[in-house]
Structures are given as C-alpha cells and as structure tokens.
Structure 1
Amino acid sequence: MRIARFSAGDEVGFGLVDTDDGGNRFVSRLKGHPLLGQIQLTGERAKLEDVRLLSPVLPTKVVCIGKNYAEHVAEMADITGGSTAEPVVFLKPSSAVVGPNDPVFYPALSSRVDYEGELAVVIGRLCREVPAERVKDVVFGYTVGNDVTARDLQQTDKQWTRAKGFDSFCPLGPWIETGLSLEEAADLRITTTVDGEVRQDASTAQMIHGIPELVAYVSSFMTLLPGDVILTGTPAGVGPVEVGQHMTVAVERIGELTNRVVTRD
C-alpha cells in the first residue's frame, strides 16, 4: 500500500494512493491515523492532482545515518573524516520536516547548501533494543528523504546539528510504501537530479550498514516511536544547489520527492 498524508480544503488526513486502469491516480481517505490503529476507508475519494500532498508523517525525531556509502565517505573525507566501524548517528529536529513540493529555504547563514538523497525508514510501533531479526516487525514502511545540509557550516562547526537542522532541511514524501520487505528495500535504485540533471545514481545495496543493523543499533540507545524516521545515508555525488533550482530524489518502487530552493521573504 501507498499511504499519503494530504490536505483538501481545510481538512488534513491520510489516504491510500491507487491508480486506475487509465493511469489516473486517486487518494482514498482513511479513518484516523494509520500508525495508531487499523486501516479503514471512509468511502471518500479524490483525484491525487486535486489534493496537496504533505510530509507523510510528523515524526517526533528524524534519526540520520552518516557515512553509510563507501564512495560518499571517500568524497567527504576532508569534511567528515573516514569510515567508522559503527554507524554514525545524528538527529534532525521535527521542525526541519517538510513535504513534497514545499520550499527549502536557503539560510542567510550559509554560502553552500547541498542535497543528499536517501531512503527513509518509517517506524510503525514503539520499540527499543530491537534485535536485527525482529526489525521487520517494527518497520511500517519506506519513504523518500533529502538530508539537506549547509555544507560550509558542517565543516566549520565540526558537528552537524546546525548544518542539518535548519527549518525545511528534511523533505519527506511523497507517501509511505508499506509493501516492501527488508530484502526488497535492500536493493533499490536511488537517484537525485537537480533541474533534471542526474547528480546521484546508486543502489541501497551499496549501504555499509543495512536496515536491520541500523534499526537495531539506533534502538539500542533510544526509544523509537510510531512515525519516527530513520534516514539511511546518502550515496556519492552530493553537491550544491542554488536558489531557484529544483531537487528531485527518486527511490525505485517508492516514488519521487521534488523541492525547490528559495530564499525567505
């Protein structure tokens, strides 16, 4: 299933996204919150083009993994150092989360802002100290993420909170795909384009630490709540974007996430 969070008029809700035989896409409204109860349809349906897609979840925290693709570690060695035996973990605040087609604001404090396309894991139940073999029981599904980064601040600060935590620096969307197994999610093509030009093109099979290991590791020291998101790291090819450009991150079998870089008025 593909579960979207959307607004129509003054109402915000969740819905199932499907496609008819003619290729038209629809969203069927759900009762309540799909992460907090059984999935039930209300009977209301609208064309996808007639609603506004929002970030598919509002996580209490976004847990991010750094240095999880070997070629990316190499290209960033001067800024972040070499590889590590254990996953590198940092957090983005929930205030950084935006949805599909929402603007990403280029902060006045920075002179270089980079895209980082990633596969995002959505947690489906409260959990901690999850063994790797049980991770399948706590993953609700997957979405697409962009770990937008003020690269110059990351380099000067020597830690990543400010560089990664600006408002709008965590686009998520377009929906949650619940139909992938851990094995399937471990081999998906991921691309990032800027104004149509391919900048990143890799596979989640290249991750140093796989999804079961990442969820087990993170949950070993923090409790994960329904709707929390783990960004699994970005492949090689990161680079800057300028005001006015469009970033599109696509993950095979999930969807595309596009956001435009703008300045604040």
Structure 2
Amino acid sequence: MRATTRLLSSLHTAASLKANCRKPPTSILTPGAGPVLLPAGVVAHYELELGLLIGRRLTDLAPDDTRGAFAAISAYVLAIDLTARNVQDEAKKKGLPWSIAKGFDTFCPISNVIPKERLGDDPYSAKLTLEVNGQTKQSDKAELMLFRIPRILSDISRVMTLEEGDLVLTGTPKGVGPVRAGEKMTARLEVNGREIEEGRMEVDVVERKGGYVFAET
C-alpha cells in the first residue's frame, strides 16, 4: 500500500455527500505495526468496516454503474475506524469541523490485503465481527449497508477523483461503542461461514504518552 494512500470513510448514518470525510494516511495502522495509541482524555469508539482498495483512477462514476465500481476495486481490507467521540461532540457543539476526531495517529488499524477473489462475486455476503477482550461487540453482514458500493464510490468520485492506492471505508454495523487503554480488539471476516485468514487482526490499545490532551472547553 502506497505511503500516499488517502483514506475516505463513508458514514452509515448520513444520506448525502456530507457522509464522506477523510482520514489522513498517518491514521493507518498496518498489521504488526504496534498498538493503537489513545491520547489522554479521549473517549474512542470503534467502527468495524469493510475497506475497498482502489486499483485505478475513478472520476464521476454513475451511481448505477456496478460494473465500473467493482472494476475499480483491486482488493479489500478489514478496518477499524476509530473516532474520538468526545472530541467530535465538542466540535459539533461549536459548529467546527470534526476531522480531528477521526485523524489521530493509529486510529485506523487495517488487516492484511484481502485478494478480491476471496470475497467472490458477492462481497455483501461477507460477515464482519469485532470483539473487545473476547466479547463480541459487532457482528453483521455487509449486505446491511445503507448505501451499496457503487453509490459510495459515485458520491466520492463526483467530488474528488479516486486514485490507485486510495482506501475507501464503507460504513459500520450496529454495536459501535467505546474501547479503552488496556483492551484488545480482535476483528475477523467470514464468507459463507469460513473465516478469511487475511481479514483477521488483533490490536492492543494503550495510552499515548505525551502529545494531545483533550480538555472540554
């Protein structure tokens, strides 16, 4: 994955172009790169998502162009999109941008790259599961997406061109909640009842030393 990879997240709860927000490449935590670093005072919420790795330049995709959408995808990843919820709430209250809440270093752990063929012709049948300290918190199929993949890629590509190496997250199942320093997140992906090896990941959460400290104002 290129160091210049952009990361765009399509939020499940929004219904327009406002649904799209960007996370910086420095938020990506690749397998084996260490723990999630939780800044002091930050309340972080996990959001497990299927990620689309873009394999070709994509501009102005029509929302009903299913063939074009899937042709632009080179592979998949499983991702945990972390949000600093109290930072986000504070920004919303003040009418300020809340991209900071999504943008902390290590706030997007991802799995190994999942070859496109592992999900077959129906990626919506994939089941995403997230556990925190062994307790299941999220577990649902991708078919519950509010917006299908062509619609997501269309909404983004009509505003900004998607390029090879970009990573697009597609929304999260129900069960979003907090994760704390000292806890371990385990995520996995299943297709037709079989776990996809490349989609499994485990990541610890630890307190970040120094740097940003959240204080409500």
TM-score grouping bracket, smaller chain normalisation: 0.7 to 0.9
Give RMSD over aligned pairs: 1.9
Note the C-alpha offset of 1:61: 0.8
Counterpart of 1:43 in structure 2 is: none
| Mapping for residues 115-194 of structure 1, pairs under 5 Å | 115-131=46-62, 132-133=65-66, 134-158=68-92, 159-180=97-118, 183-194=121-132
The C-alpha deviation readout for 1:73-105, integer Å capped at 9, x for no partner, is 4xxxxxxxxx53567110100111111242100
- Does the Cα contact within 8 Å between 1:59 and 1:229 map onto a contact in 2? no
Note the C-alpha offset of 1:57: 5.2
Give the TM-score of the pair, scaled to structure 1.
0.69
Following the alignment from structure 1 to structure 2, what is the Cα–Cα distance between the partners of residues 145 and 104?
13
Question: Which of 19, 25, 30 is the aligned partner of 1:88?
Answer: 19
The C-alpha deviation readout for 1:199-231, integer Å capped at 9, x for no partner, is 001111000101111112211111111110000
| Mapping for residues 1-265 of structure 1, pairs under 5 Å | 58-66=3-11, 68=12, 73=13, 83-84=14-15, 88-101=19-32, 102-110=34-42, 112-131=43-62, 132-133=65-66, 134-158=68-92, 159-180=97-118, 183-253=121-191, 254=196, 255-265=199-209
Report the AA paired with residue 37 of structure 2: F
Q: Which runs of 4+ in 1 moved over 6 A?
A: none
Unaligned runs of 5+ in 2: 210-217
Higher fraction of strand: 1
- Does the Cα contact within 8 Å between 2:17 and 2:156 map onto a contact in 1? no
- Does the Cα contact within 8 Å between 1:87 and 1:209 map onto a contact in 2? no
Aligned residue pairs, count: 195
Following the alignment from structure 1 to structure 2, what is the Cα–Cα distance between the partners of residues 114 and 106?
11
Aligned-pair identity in percent equals 33
The C-alpha deviation readout for 1:167-200, integer Å capped at 9, x for no partner, is 0001111223221567411121111100111000
Please give the secondary structure, in 2, of the residue aligned with 1:162: helix
* More RCO (CA 8 Å, sep 6+): 2
The C-alpha deviation readout for 1:23-68, integer Å capped at 9, x for no partner, is xxxxxxxxxxxxxxxxxxxxxxxxxxxxxxxxx55452101011x2
The C-alpha deviation readout for 1:222-256, integer Å capped at 9, x for no partner, is 11111100000111101111111111222224421
